[in-house]
Structure 1
Amino acid sequence: MTILVTGGAGFIGANFVLDWVAQSDEPVINLDLLTYAGNVQTLSSLEGNPQHVFQQGDIADSELVKRLLTEHQPRAVLNFAAESHVDRSIHGPEDFIQTNIVGTFRLLEEVRAYWKDLQGEAKDAFRFLHVSTDEVYGSLAADAPAFTEEHRYEPNSPYSASKAASDHLVRSYHHTYGLPVLTTNCSNNYGPYHFPEKLIPLMIVNALAGKPLPVYGDGQQIRDWLYVKDHCSAIRRVLEAGRTGEVYNVGGWNEKPNLEIVERICGLLDTLRPRADGQPYAGQIAYVTDRPGHDRRYAIDARKLERELGWKPAETFETGIRKTVEWYLDNWQWVENVQSGNYRDWVEKNYSGRSA
């Protein structure tokens, strides 16, 4: 018994692989292209572990995917591979089209051919699990109910549009070809190994470096925050017992405005790593020009997942954010290693000229 994970060196994928190896003796084949957000250092604890087989490569490389499927005969494929940062999609949407749409299509084609040739119980038990985002649903008004699995798709960025397209492809392969698929749409993840261009790790890194803490617009954009290890446990549960063809929303039941998140991080750092001058980190907050088309609110209704599969998040935001800040303080070498020249160039490109 083996699973194939794509994008398993990225933030969510790597956390999933680490948790999988810690909780199961089933081997995992890890396919990742190692773009800017993929980092094999995250998987360093698995070096030499025969349960983890890493293969650098692209999900759009049909021959490579075919070889991995044929050689390892996985019982499931879990697709985490995606370009996933809205700001990057605004500056350069083509990579998102190629990976999230073309790549997903080519992966589906190879998985469909592989599944078609399976026999008996192996064919019946096979699953393709596609990991997606709540951003495909668009933006919510302040008083609107949270996204359910029945909510209409209304993507508002090149990133969310490309993920919406991939979701539709996955759905179509189930209805057209019978491929046994599962789709999860998650809210904003946070936790260990998060690439430091995203809100929470960026605030931690900038605060400790004495840099401004850039807050878009008025900072009142609301997100539902999901601790990454809770997300991984939800995916394991959906893989185990989810109904094929179904979509499951995964959320943390933690709606918070961005400004509150930043202030909470500042408060934790004031306690855990006080500034040398004794001043609060909140003094570094700097409001900057909002990004184009910034969705105002996301919120996930995860009751279907709880009702059908008995899953609920284990962490509150208070416990999860403290664990996250402590992890970054304890793993500063990882943070320094991922802040390459490419990362610094990106931060400069995205935030230069935004001062409000």
Structure 2
Amino acid sequence: MKILVTGGAGFIGSAVIRHIIQNTNDSVVNVDKLTYAGNLESLDGAAKSNRYAFEQVDICNLVELTRVFERHQPDAVMHLAAESHVDRSIDGPADFIQTNIVGTYVLLDTAKRYWQSMDVARKAQFRFHHISTDEVYGDLEGPQDLFTESTPYAPSSPYSASKASSDHLVRAWHRTFGLPAVITNCSNNYGPYHFPEKLIPLVILNALEGKSLPIYGKGDQVRDWLYVEDHARALYGVVTKGEIGETYNIGGHNEMQNIEVVQTLCKILDELRPDSPHCPHASLITYVQDRPGHDLRYAIDASKIQRDLGWTPMETFGSGIRKTVEWYLNNLSWCHHVQDGSYQRERLGVKA
């Protein structure tokens, strides 16, 4: 099978591509605009495979996207391209509307026309897999409540509202046009190659440099943490075995308050870097004003994907977070290339 992955140079997209290249015989076409969050260094190993191809294309560009479909003739689409940082969506929502809503529309319409042109056999096998977030559900009230696939949408931020809109578009293209689509909504991902503006890599790198570790509000926001390689495995299971028209929630079964996550990171760094002049690293924690509309608690009921597709996470938070810290400590050059911007300069001149 040949799978077209949008946003394949991003955090989750690159994990999906690495999983496919390393663990299957399938081929991948990576379609990525290479915004600030796209980093081809995350794909160094996979990119050496003759089953990998790269197209630097904006999913809002109808002409280029049509060319990519005609050239590569994919059997499935995994749509991960998105603006995804909540703080950035508050500061500047326009990019989120353009990429997450308009881009998804252009991709859907291109995929629909491509799918309609297929012969009967290939048409029956085609899949459009839209990867979304649990943030479309808003936040939970009771401490025992969980997001299910039928939880009503109540997005709080411009980011989550744009992703909710894209989910609705996918469902509409499935119901109205018959496009064979499936949707997944995941909890907070963490792991290797995570862009340093996100909580876990930000804390690790700030702590190593003796910088403050900023915590929004009291740090009592609860998130369900999912190791990115577990997520990649789940996504591949959905695109290959998921039922058309269905939605699957993917969670890590690891609910943690943000402050607990940061304290755990500090303890692991104290253990792995005992000679650091910044020990104990928890002394660097500072509390800052909470961001507007900050949801208090997310938690996913992932029983459907376990029951229907046999997927469960392999990593606990304890095992996954230790692997994550060790990866960052062993790959500081990747981090520094992101921090100093050289990862963007080095990609200039990259062609399909």
For normalisation by structure 2, the TM-score amounts to 0.95
Counterpart residue number, 2:262: 262
CA distance in 1, matches of 2:180, 2:230: 24
Q: The residue matched to 1:225 in structure 2 has which SS?
A: strand
Counterpart residue number, 1:102: 102
AA of the residue aligned to 2:234: A
Post-superposition offset of 1:48: 3.8
CA contact (8 A) 1:275 1:281 kept: no
Counterpart residue number, 2:347: none
After alignment, is 196-205 or 270-279 more displaced?
Answer: 270-279
Counterpart residue number, 2:309: 309
Counterpart residue number, 2:125: 125
CA distance in 2, matches of 1:3, 1:120: 19
For structure 2, the 5+ residue unaligned runs are: 344-352
AA of the residue aligned to 2:273: R
For structure 1, the 5+ residue unaligned runs are: 344-356
CA distance in 1, matches of 2:142, 2:274: 35
Counterpart residue number, 1:67: 67
Alpha-carbon RMSD:
1.3
- Give CA-to-partner distance per residue, 1:111-148, whole Å, 9 cap, x none: 00000011122000100000000000001124251000
CA distance in 2, matches of 1:279, 1:160: 37
CA distance in 1, matches of 2:104, 2:284: 41
Q: The residue matched to 1:189 in structure 2 has which SS?
A: strand
Map 1:79-90 to 2 at 5 A.
79-90=79-90
Residue 146 of structure 2 is aligned to residue 143 of structure 1: no
AA of the residue aligned to 2:64: L
Question: Residues 342, 185 of structure 1: CA spacing in aligned structure 2 closer, same or farther, 3 A cutoff?
Answer: farther
CA distance in 2, matches of 1:81, 1:95: 12
Question: Residues 278, 77 of structure 1: CA spacing in aligned structure 2 closer, same or farther, 3 A cutoff?
Answer: closer
Counterpart residue number, 2:205: 205
For normalisation by structure 1, the TM-score amounts to 0.94
Map 1:32-47 to 2 at 5 A.
32-47=32-47
Counterpart residue number, 2:348: none
CA distance in 2, matches of 1:110, 1:126: 14
Post-superposition offset of 1:95: 0.1
Q: The residue matched to 2:77 in structure 1 has which SS?
A: strand
Post-superposition offset of 1:278: 6.9
Map 1:147-162 to 2 at 5 A.
147-162=147-162
Counterpart residue number, 1:349: none
Map 1:1-356 to 2 at 5 A.
1-277=1-277, 279-340=279-340
AA of the residue aligned to 2:270: D
Question: What is the aligned-residue identity percentage?
Answer: 57
